[in-house]
Chains A and B, each alone.
Chain A
Amino acid sequence: MTAARRAAAIATTLLLGACQSYQSTFSDAAVEVHNFNILFVIFLAVCAAMYVLVIAFLIAGIVRRRRAGDALVMETGRHHESHPLMRTGLIAWGTLVTVGLIALALASFVGDRSMASAAAHERLSITITANQWWWDVQYNSSDVSKTLRTANELHLPVGVPVRIILHSNDVVHSFWVPSLAGKQDLIPGRENDITIVPTKIGIYRGQCAEYCGTQHAHMALVVDVDSQADFLKWWQHQLQPAPPPRTPLALAGYNYVTNRECAMCHNIAGTPASARVGPDLTHFASRRTIAAGTLPMGKGNLYGWVEDPQSVKPGTKMPTIGLQPNDLHAVVAYLETLK
């Protein structure tokens, strides 16, 4: 393959890859990212036009270079015959630049104001607390007994402005769901917020966008945008405590989970395990991924994760306990019941 063909192949792959929409800034799934994209196009158009003109003039200048004598003439400035063109050119250029800048400023202002007005009346408030290396998601409610705490997955109702309050428990992280909105940092000791108005039902992927330690790369967030009715149904379901274990194996798993290491860090509503250091596991099996997007949910992955998290996500806070095979079977069986 020639060098040119190779370059073309790479370029095509990259371009096509950018078109996938579950984690793409070019998607159209929320008011914020929609506005960003319009702004992007305007900026791209204006700046590209200016760029092309500048390059054109530069090339013209290089190609049509003057002879040595004329340079002297220019400096004395007494020959005006060549200048009308220069004057009109400069005026035109100045006008172009001014118009371009005004266009950019206007576009920026209008885009920002429209995002602000879309986000003005939030109807849902979510608090996300970032930890190393997982997302603690709490859905707030005016009825406090309906507040919901889950982890690593965000469910949003379509068309509803959602205000996400951002905290951090340790270091600086950054909340970034490219398909929905831009980045916003989570800074320890400070409360930031971001408002999103999703407009398209679908599943999107977000990730931490600020280096936060060894496993920064494995700190993803799955965002599920549902219809409003489905969202409320999901919330209702998530409020239910974990069902009691029904099989002997699950019961053995329940006993292990609530009496041993697991209960030191995890919360499973309806059981004695009420710790908050690690992700809430009450409806763990209903999530799509394990360990903040590191592995897809599934039996084999669960076995691997529970037995040796340090191999999957080295340095993570969950220790490798070294479960005996019977305990491992039991724990995974119980975890699978937490739908």
Chain B
Amino acid sequence: MSSRFRVSCIAIGVAALALTACDREERHNRAKPLGETVPAGESPDTIYPGSGVPPPLDARAAMYDNNAPAIAQGQWLYTQMNCVGCHSHGGGGMGPPLMDDEWRYGGRIDQIAATIAEGRPNGMPAWRGKLTQDQIWQLAAYVRSLSGQPSKDAVSSRPDEMSGPEPETLTAREPQKQSDAAEQ
């Protein structure tokens, strides 16, 4: 192998490696806003009458779930939109904790986005029409990071406020079970 050929191979390899990080850092400043509604997320139960085959996951899950800018923006919104006032930094308060493995209404990103948009009967406010879908999905991505779900290279490594729980880069991933509706 000639040395120039070797150098080109290495260069191509390095470039390919560098490009793999692109998805995680991709920003969508003008995520499609018009005419979208989050489908009322499937119930947390996992019975699908008839064929028993679960519907396909919303395409946006891939866009937001492990996306670093989305999680960062979600962190900012979490404080500004007062989520922190009811859910604290994941421990809960007026609202249930978000950092554990118990999800009343489902812990998948599209289920969390549906909860934020629709509201829930025991006091979760409905944010549809007050936040854009982009913002709601960013919040959902951040909420998932509170229980350690996204990959550790996408989450924030430090909180913006006084130290609460440990930073999300150290948070162990809570098990995602078939969510049963926890009792009220």
Contact = CB atoms under 8 A, between A and B. Distances in A.
A320 B130 contact: no
B132 A261 contact: yes
Contacts of A107: none
Interface string A252-278: 000000001101110000000000010
B33 interface: yes
B129 interface: yes
Contacts of B33: 319-322
A317 interface: yes
Contacts of A321: 33, 132
A203 to B, nearest CB: 32
B34 A319 contact: no
B135 interface: yes
B29 interface: yes
Contacts of B129: 260-261
Contacts of A260: 129-130
A311 interface: yes
A310 B132 contact: no
A314 interface: yes
A317 B130 CA distance: 14
A320 B27 contact: no
B140 to A, nearest CB: 15
Contact of B30 (A263, A277, A310): A310
Contacts of B30: 308, 310-311, 314, 320
A90 B34 CA distance: 79
Interface in A42-66: none
Interface string B74-96: 00100011000000000000000
Nearest to B36: A322
Interface string B155-179: 0000010000000000000000000
Contacts of A315: 27, 29
Interface string A302-315: 00000010110011
Contact of A264 (B27, B29, B131, B160): B131
Contact of A314 (B29, B131, B134): B29
B131 A322 contact: no
A315 B132 CA distance: 15
A317 B76 contact: yes
Interface in B117-144: 129-132, 134-135
A264 B81 contact: yes
A319 B76 contact: no
A277 to B, nearest CB: 5
B130 A261 contact: yes
A239 to B, nearest CB: 26
Interface string A54-97: 00000000000000000000000000000000000000000000
A319 B130 contact: no
Contacts of B76: 317
Interface string A150-186: 0000000000000000000010000000000000000
B130 to A, nearest CB: 5
Contacts of B80: 265, 277
Interface string B10-34: 0000000000000000010110011
19 contacts: A170-B160, A260-B129, A260-B130, A261-B130, A264-B81, A265-B80, A308-B30, A311-B30, A314-B29, A314-B30, A315-B29, A317-B76, A319-B131, A319-B132, A319-B134, A320-B29, A320-B132, A320-B134, A322-B33
Interface of A: 170, 260-261, 263-265, 277, 308, 310-311, 314-315, 317, 319-322
Nearest 8 pairs between A and B by C-beta? Answer: A322-B33, A322-B34, A310-B29, A319-B132, A310-B30, A277-B80, A314-B29, A320-B30
Given A260-B129, A261-B129, 14 more contacts: A261-B130, A261-B132, A308-B30, A310-B29, A317-B76, A319-B33, A319-B131, A319-B132, A319-B134, A319-B135, A320-B30, A320-B132, A320-B134, A321-B132
Interface of B: 27, 29-30, 33-34, 76, 80-81, 129-132, 134-135, 160
